[in-house]
Amino acid sequence: MTADQILTVEQMRKAEQALIDAGSSVDTLMQIAGRGAADWVWRMAGNGRVTVLCGPGNNGGDGYVIAEAIRERGGEAVVVAASEPKTDAARNARAAFGGEVLGLDASLHGEVFVDCLFGSGLTRPLAEDHLSLLNRLALRHRHRVAVDLPSGVQSDSGMLLNDGLPPHDLTIALGAWKFAHVLMPAAAISGELRLVEIGVGTVEGAARMIARPRIAAPLPAAHKYTRGLLAVVAGTMPGAVLLACEAAQGAGAGYVKLFAQQRPPNAPFDLVVDTGALADVLTDDRNTAILCGPGLGRDGPAREKLAIALADPVPVVLDADALVLLGPRQLAERRAATIATPHEGELVRLESAFDCEGSGSKVERAKALAQASGMIVVAKGPDTVIAAPDGRIACAPRASPWLSTAGTGDVLAGTIASRVATGVPAFEAACEGVWLHGEAARHCPPVFAASHLASRVPNALAACL
């Protein structure tokens, strides 16, 4: 599939050039992109006025195409030109626009404002007059739409090049997703996301947007062991590990077994708790994955539990305290997959432990840590990036901000570990777990606790069957 590709500016430039080399033209691609974007603008506008702010480049050319497409449908579309077109395709698009073009002093009210000032190639802050015009028009319209990217955003990093950029209700990606669509802080001002395809082919090495997974129901002859046995290592704080276990039970594994010194008093009756010696019970060759970290603690016994978990020759998911205790020596003998799920503070800690610079975008940081450690890294947060040691990158679409509550990371760890236990390859399991986590939040009320989230994981999985 190509619809899930996330491309850098350079990859997008080469992809467009490949289309041109194959017989298309910049003008043709601009018409496809602009008219595709106009479909979304038209739906929002109703009978209201559409104001399109056009810049000097091809993003501005897209804006003229959008305005003309709206006008052809009988709508009212006015263009505000921040400057004269500077590319041939943009000049041709302006010449084909039959409506009114106003200058920098325009002061309009309307239903939909369309930002086509600058696109993905922007590398410097907006000039003060352009920023002022952008904000003035945005404030005077009911809805705001960005075409390709909100102006003032750096495409590859998701950084904002100016303070005070206006938020949008909708951003329409052209040709492919860009990293700024999923990385903070740009994602926070992008609103809903839609993609207009222009025929871009598969780009080797491209990152991808995590989409709804396809999960098959168990086979007719399945039993609990064929569906996967997840061993979960308990520590000093039972609440965290019980959240992870509940999520794991709902994410597909046939058997979730908690290894603890004693049964937690509030453990559900259907959770198997093994109180034997950890070194003995983790030698069970029926284990298909291990989860270690939620509620583990950071003392000597916790270090020993981590070492035992990592010694098992099955995939291991590490979270929370396990990430604080982890270092390169503990992974030296690992052959099976290891998945780490750090939040920002834990990511910094791991970067220090594995001698990573910790600079660049979140994508670059996750990729560097994955390559240095050999782990699959799920760099979680309001933007979540998954990186594999072989260079594969996946990014999650923006999830509910209500996930910013204690314990939701434990739910994520349990969900990912469960998908690994079912036999899904580690990188794909991490992507599935992240998607299920975000979908579970959509099944919760606006304000929820981690226990509510864990209970909604089965609903999320049901959406994938």
- What is the chain's mean pLDDT, rounded? 96
- Give the pLDDT of residue 1: 54
- Give the pLDDT of residue 408: 98
> What is the model's pTM?
0.95
Is pLDDT of 375 > 90? yes
Q: Average pLDDT of 51-72?
A: 97
Instruction: Report in angstroms the alpha-carbon separations of 113 from 109, 380, 428.
Output: 9, 33, 39
| Location of structure tokens 């198997």 | 272
At 411-465, the pLDDT tens digits run 999 999 999 999 999 999 999 999 999 999 999 998 999 999 999 999 999 999 9
- 28 — pLDDT class (breaks 50, 70, 90): very high
- Give the pLDDT of residue 282: 81
- Give the pLDDT of residue 7: 98
DSSP notation for 332-369: TT--S-EEE---HHHHHHHHHHTT----S-HHHHHHHH
Q: What is the token pair recorded at 352?
A: 């220090």
Helix or strand (DSSP H, E) at 66: helix 58-72
- 47 — pLDDT class (breaks 50, 70, 90): confident
User: CA dihedral in degrees (153, 158, 163, 169; nearest 10)?
Assistant: 70
Fold for 229-462, please state it.
Answer: UDP-N-acetylmuramoyl-L-alanine:D-glutamate ligase (3.40.1190)
Closest CA to 434 of 380, 389, 393: 380
Task: Report yes or no: 308 and 282 within 8 Å, Cβ to Cβ.
Answer: yes
**Residue 161 DSSP class:** S
CA atoms within 13 A on the CB side of 408: 26
At 301-358, the pLDDT tens digits run 999 999 999 999 999 999 999 999 999 999 999 999 999 999 999 999 999 999 999 9
The C-alpha atoms of residue 8 and residue 395 are separated, in whole angstroms, by 13
The C-alpha atoms of residue 74 and residue 72 are separated, in whole angstroms, by 5
Instruction: Report in angstroms the alpha-carbon separations of 199 from 18, 32, 216.
Output: 10, 9, 31
At 198-226, the pLDDT tens digits run 999 999 999 999 999 999 999 999 999 99
At 259-291, the pLDDT tens digits run 999 999 899 999 999 999 998 878 889 999 999
The C-alpha atoms of residue 241 and residue 292 are separated, in whole angstroms, by 9
Q: Where are the domains of the chain?
A: 5-208, 229-462
Task: Report yes or no: 235 and 262 within 8 Å, Cβ to Cβ.
Answer: no
Instruction: Report in angstroms the alpha-carbon separations of 284 from 39, 189, 295.
Output: 57, 49, 23
Q: What is the token pair recorded at 48?
A: 């209201």
- 79 — pLDDT class (breaks 50, 70, 90): very high
Closest CA to 104 of 126, 84, 74: 84
3.40.50.2300, 3.40.50.460, 3.40.50.10260, 3.40.710.10: CATH of 5-208: 3.40.50.10260
Is pLDDT of 64 > 70? yes
